[in-house]
Amino acid sequence: MSKQTIAIVGLGRVGSVFLAELLRRPNKDIEVVAVAENGDTSGKILAKSQGIAVLDTDALIAMGEKIDILFDLTGVPAVRRDLREKLMAADNRHTIIATETIAKLIWSLVASDVALPSVHGKTGY
C-alpha cells in the first residue's frame, strides 16, 4: 500500500482532536502534509510544532495531487462547497474530500479512549 497524504481543513474542537489522534498513532502509511485553520487553536499550534504546513485553502488546493485525502472538519457547508468547486476548477480528480462522517468512521476504528467531539450538525456531501 502506498502512503496516503492527508490535509485537514478546520482545526477547531473536532479537527484539533482528530489531528492529535492521528499524530499520536504514527503510521508509515499515513502522513499529514498540511492543515488550514484561520483561528489560533490548539490544533494549529500542534501542527506548527510538528512541522506541518499551515496554509489557506487556496494553497492546499494548489498542492494538487500531493494530497490524497482532504478532511473538511469545519462543519460549514459553504466551506465544503468552496473546496469542491476549487478542486474542480483545478481539474484535480485525485484528491477526495472526506467529511466529518468519514472522520467519525475512522475515529471509531482507531480511537477507543477519547471521544471525537460532536459539535457540528450534519452537513452531508
Q: What is the pLDDT of residue 112?
A: 59
> In this structure, are residues 74 and 47 in contact, taking their beta carbons and an 8 Å threshold?
no
Q: In this predicted model, what pLDDT tens digit does every residue of 7-50 receive, in sequence order?
A: 999 999 889 998 998 898 777 889 999 999 999 999 999 999 99
Q: Give the C-alpha separation, 63 to 120, whole Å.
A: 27
Rg of the chain (C-alpha set) = 13
pLDDT band at 98 (very low <50, low <70, confident <90, very high): very high
Give φ, ψ of 71 to 5 degrees: -80, 120
- Give ∠ CA 96-99-102 in degrees, rounded to 5: 95
All domains of the chain in start order, with CATH: 4-110 (3.40.50.720)
This prediction has a pTM of: 0.87
Compute the average pLDDT of residues 59-83. 95
